[in-house]
Amino acid sequence: MPDKAREKPTRKTGAAHFLAAAGYSLGGARRLWREAAFRQELLGLAVVLGLFLLVGASAGQVLGLLILGLFVLVIEALNTALEEIVDHLSPDWSEFARHAKDLGSFAVMCALVATGLYAAWVVLL
């Protein structure tokens, strides 16, 4: 039996839009939590934050770390979204799927390297 056609939801405005957007964001966070890489990145951020506090990093340096850490999580979320789309479009192995996933992984790696270089600069200099 075919699925019933879904009606387009009505567009929310004002406070209802804000609450709906917050719900979508929480749903995204719940989905991202299932990714081991996301949990490892959060743990790494917590460890480096602890190291920053241990070496007496300034408030500005801690803020810089938090901004870069959020940047890593943003890229990880986008990479996970890309993988979801690619897996849907290409359930079997394909060259396009490999390229898309490799590019997403490279973006995450660049963000991690940038954060690592910043952390090393703060801790070692």
Helices (H) and strands (E) counted in the chain, each on its own, are: 4, 0
Q: Please pick, among 76, 83, 84, 95, the residue that the annotation labels catalytic.
A: 76
Q: Is there a catalytic annotation at residue 76?
A: yes
Tally Cβ neighbours within 10 Å of residue 57. Answer: 19
Estimate to the nearest angstrom the gap between the alpha carbon of 42 and the chain centroid: 10
Per the confidence metrics, is the pTM higher than 0.75? yes
pLDDT per residue as tens digits for the range 14-66? 888 888 889 999 999 999 999 999 999 999 999 999 999 999 999 999 999 99
Q: Which of 32, 34, 110, 28 is nearest to 72 (CA)?
A: 110
pLDDT of residue 85: 96
Amino acid found at 117? L
Q: What average pLDDT does the structure give for the chain? A: 93
DSSP designation for 92:
S
Q: What CATH class does 35-124 carry?
A: mainly alpha
